[in-house]
Amino acid sequence: MIRLNLMLLVAVLVSAVYLVSVQYDSRRLFAELDKARSESKRLATEFDRLQVEKRAQATPSRVERIAREKLEMRQATPAITMYVNYSGTASPNSGASQPSVANGKGVAP
């Protein structure tokens, strides 16, 4: 009878330790899940903010201003337009002077 009681006591202790271990793992996993959800919300908010910023940066007026200031681009006019024939020689537009290609941009200074 004593052996049976000792075996039952050991079984109860083992199951109690296992139960505590499972509860600890459950709490740890729940905390990780909560962290992952909050990180997901933070990343979604950051993504939305970046999308708005991207749209603001890509406005046509801003792109045009940067093209003029940083890239020194300008509107093409018939005076600076060159047409290339099949023979490979460049001919200026009708009545326009030959543009200078000394600056490497193919536009008149």
| pLDDT for the residue numbered 74 | 81
| pLDDT for the residue numbered 97 | 47
Radius of gyration of the chain (CA): 38
Please write the tens of the pLDDT for every residue from 30-69. 999 999 999 999 999 999 999 999 998 888 888 888 888 9
User: pTM for the complete prediction?
Assistant: 0.49
Give the mean model confidence (pLDDT) for residues 5-33. Answer: 97
| pLDDT for the residue numbered 35 | 98
More confident residue, 100 or 41: 41
Strands (E), 15-92: 82-84, 90-92
Sequence-ordered list of residues with C-beta below 8 angstroms from that of 102, at least 6 positions apart, any chain: 109
Instruction: Flag whether pLDDT at 76 surpasses 70.
Output: yes
Whether the Cβ atoms of residue 74 and residue 67 lie closer than 8 Å to each other: no
